[in-house]
Amino acid sequence: MVVEQRLPGTPVRSPQPDVRRIGRAGAIGATGVLVLLTTSLVLVSAWHLAQGTSTVGASDLVAWAFGGGTSEAGDILLGSRVPRLAAGVAVGFALGVAGALLQSLARNALASPDTLAVTGGAYLAVTVVAAFGLAVPLWASGITAFVGGILAAALVLGLAGGAGTSTTRLVLAGSAVALALQAATSTLLILFAEETTSLFAWGSGSLSQLGLDAFGQAAPVVVVATAGALLLGRRLDLLGLGDDSAAVLGVPVRSTRAIGTVLAVLLTAASVTLAGPIGFVGLFAPVVVRLAGSWVPALHRHVVLIPAAGLLGAVVVVLADALLRAFLGADEAISVPTGITTTLAGALVMVVLARRGRDAGPAKQPPAARIGVRSRRRFVVVLTGALLAAAGVTVLGLLGGDTWLRTGDVALWLQHEGSPLVRFALDERAPRVAAAVLGGAALALSGALVQATCRNPLAEPGILGITGGAGVGAVVVVTGSVTAAPTHSSVLVGAVIGALTSFALVYGLAWRRGLDADRLLLIGIGTWYGAAALTTYLLVRSNPWDTPRIYTWLSGTTYGRSWEQVVPVAVLLVLALPLAWLVRRELDLLALDEDTPRLVGVGLERVRLLVLLVAALLAATSVAAVGVVGFVGLVAPHLARGLVGGRHARSVPVAVLLGAALLGLADLVGRSVIAPSQVPAGLVVALIGAPYFVLLLARSRA
């Protein structure tokens, strides 16, 4: 008997067929699937080998293989095309097996090396080695990536509550940790640009190889780890029944999970070392194989599921690389990482699963969701303190930098007096300080609106894909895809269009006889990953001399800001704050549940759409002013609720002031700590906000 599979639900119980009843038909079905996947891989590989930047074609390669042709064909085949193909096969197979293991261990269809931040941890570890100029052999690089990946996976699983946790909680924890790891990686890429110059495109997954040496060292690791996974197959079959049932049947649950996680991370580390972090193959391949189990029940057995997921992963990677060359041409495709294509495909699969599924796992709300009303005196004290903090950060921002000024200099500047050097410095600092303060306020207000609508204090505009869409729109303009000479107005328009398009996409896909908050979050995260892949594609296709500048802007920077970029944020804040005050009661009701607003006559969907639309506009204008900044929309509203309670009439103004102070302080730190060098304010915020987010998740397990 086959237990029904609930792929998108949580926990996901892997279908457990009665092995004795599958019989010959099941064996033939499993063999047929494996033969079909192997044949597909051979055919796709043959097409892949026929592509390249040289004039050597398929006929030349066939002639050389049968003893004719020229030596040039053999040199190109063995020196360039075979290493690239071998890397694609090894990476795809490793990620497919790793994803199958992680999904079975977490009993969650959305678990993968990407959603559990394994690739992010491995990428950060490799970047640290490169940034600090540590000379290590290839095998040591593999160990470095393994350590980074295993630490990231342990952190995510620990924060999410381990196996059996809700899909939303697991993916939210993994995505936020991945965002924090990416911020740390981006900081190193910017500060150590010369040492890490080759890691940006590699960071999205590149199959370019100089020979078969790297493959020769990674392949044994993949083979041994896959063999270990197959040996765990019977245990994993029983583990899908639940921890208690598996333990009764004699499965050592803890050791099985530990061994399986180590094998999955080892496979991911080998993949990252060989070709960089190629995204979402570990999600896409095992999910498709599990879905195929509806027609071939034998695929539910891990001894078949694991190699099938590996073969499909290899097909996906090789096919993605071949399609990229076919559509862009071999010369153009060299600069585009293969991981961009796989990430887009994986993001699509994630959205489809989120639309199909129901989150049935235990999801505990963080303490902030249950904070009651504080006293009026406390509110007045906190509001005054937040106002003084925002004002103090603004003044410090004007004074601080590579050259510190005095308050008297600012007073003279306000009177249009003082030395030319001081006036020049303040003319340059004032717009960027205003951009940071107002941008932080806009992001905080946007985050407060998003958290109320989603009823999740761990949500923020970036997680819903809003800021990612705004970033894509702005980068389309900046890279010259729309205009050869982008202006501040055109960047703003591009960011707004991108944010609204992303918002409409997420909202439309999440709508299914109503708007489910968890489904909205999962689809938003999938959209965020897709937007990140599109942004990377636009960057690597742009003028390489512009890439560091645009990448820095995407990390959240106020460098070179003008008053023209600040005014739209100020205007929208002036309009949005009164609106937030008018709907304060509705926000309080939205934060409770789905039923209470309807019982008291609130037009739930109408208010929710209006609130999210305003949040999207706030995020878009902030992106145009300060770039893509994360965590402000998460940290500021949560701090405000903890200080003054959950009533939005009090928490929203405090959150706005705290967001202004936080991003203003991050901007000051970023341009003064290592002056004259600068760290983008968005990265400073992420490095501050990441530990705070970890604390939130840890506390929410209680």
- The model's pLDDT over 510-548, given as tens digits with 9 standing for 90+, comes to 887 766 767 777 888 888 888 888 888 887 776 656 666
Give CA–CA dist 679/184, Å, rounded.
Answer: 11
Same domain, residue pair 264 and 349: yes
pLDDT by residue (tens digit) across 464-514?
788 888 888 888 887 764 445 567 778 778 888 888 888 888 888 888 776
Per-residue pLDDT at 683 = 79
Same domain, residue pair 346 and 371: no
Specify the residue for token string 């879905």. Answer: 291
Same domain, residue pair 347 and 404: no
180, 684 contact by CB (below 8 A): no
Same domain, residue pair 343 and 390: no
pLDDT by residue (tens digit) across 51-96?
776 666 666 666 666 666 666 666 677 777 888 889 999 999 999 9
76, 56 contact by CB (below 8 A): yes
pLDDT by residue (tens digit) across 666-698?
888 888 776 666 777 877 887 777 777 767 766
Same domain, residue pair 55 and 124: yes
- CATH number, position 444: 1.10.3470.10
Per-residue pLDDT at 60 = 63
Decide which of 305, 336, 356 is a domain's last residue.
356
Same domain, residue pair 597 and 516: yes
Same domain, residue pair 427 and 477: yes
Cα distances (Å, whole numbers) of residue 524 to 242, 513, 600, 633? 30, 18, 29, 15
Decide which of 337, 356, 375 is a domain's last residue.
356
Q: Is residue 12 in a domain?
A: no
Q: In the numeric block, which tokens belong to residue 682?
A: 């968005």
Average of per-residue pLDDT values in the chain:
79
pLDDT > 80? residue 700: no
Give CA–CA dist 566/621, Å, rounded.
Answer: 9
Specify the residue for token string 């887009």. Answer: 344
Q: In the chain, what are the helix, strand and coil shares in percent, each to the nearest 5?
A: 75, 0, 25
Cα distances (Å, whole numbers) of residue 75 to 65, 66, 216, 576? 12, 15, 19, 64
Nearest CA to 627 out of 450, 500, 439 is that of 439
Same domain, residue pair 425 and 337: no
Give CA–CA dist 83/286, Å, rounded.
Answer: 25
pLDDT by residue (tens digit) across 311-339?
999 999 999 888 888 887 767 777 778 88
Same domain, residue pair 510 and 649: yes
Q: Is residue 362 in a domain?
A: no
Domain that holds residue 659: 367-700
Same domain, residue pair 125 and 208: yes
Whole-model pTM: value is: 0.76
534, 183 contact by CB (below 8 A): no
Q: Is residue 2 in a domain?
A: no
51, 325 contact by CB (below 8 A): yes
Q: Is residue 262 in a domain?
A: yes
Per-residue pLDDT at 201 = 62
- How many other β-carbons are positioned within 10 Å of the β-carbon of residue 78? 13
Same domain, residue pair 327 and 407: no
pLDDT > 80? residue 456: no
Per-residue pLDDT at 641 = 86
* pLDDT band (50, 70, 90) for residue 362: very low
Alpha-helical (H) ranges within 479-583 are 488-510, 517-541, 547-554, 563-582
Q: Into how many domains does the chain fold?
A: 2
Q: Is residue 614 in a domain?
A: yes
Q: Is residue 3 in a domain?
A: no
| Three-state secondary-structure class, residue 515 | strand
Per-residue pLDDT at 298 = 85
569, 439 contact by CB (below 8 A): yes
Q: Please state, for a pLDDT cut of 70, what percent of the chain lies above it.
A: 80
The set of residues, in sequence order, having a beta carbon less than 8 Å from that of 651 and lying 6+ positions away, is 448, 637, 640, 641, 644, 645
Give CA–CA dist 22/69, Å, rounded.
Answer: 50
51, 42 contact by CB (below 8 A): no
Same domain, residue pair 291 and 319: yes
- Type of residue at 386: A
Q: Is residue 14 in a domain?
A: no
pLDDT > 50? residue 364: no
1, 21 contact by CB (below 8 A): yes
Q: Is residue 1 in a domain?
A: no
Q: In the numeric block, which tokens belong to residue 300?
A: 């539910």
619, 460 contact by CB (below 8 A): no
Decide which of 356, 390, 405 is a domain's last residue.
356
Q: What's the gap between Cα 293 and its chain centre? A: 29
- Taking residues 634-641, what's their average pLDDT? 86
- How many other β-carbons are positioned within 10 Å of the β-carbon of residue 258? 12
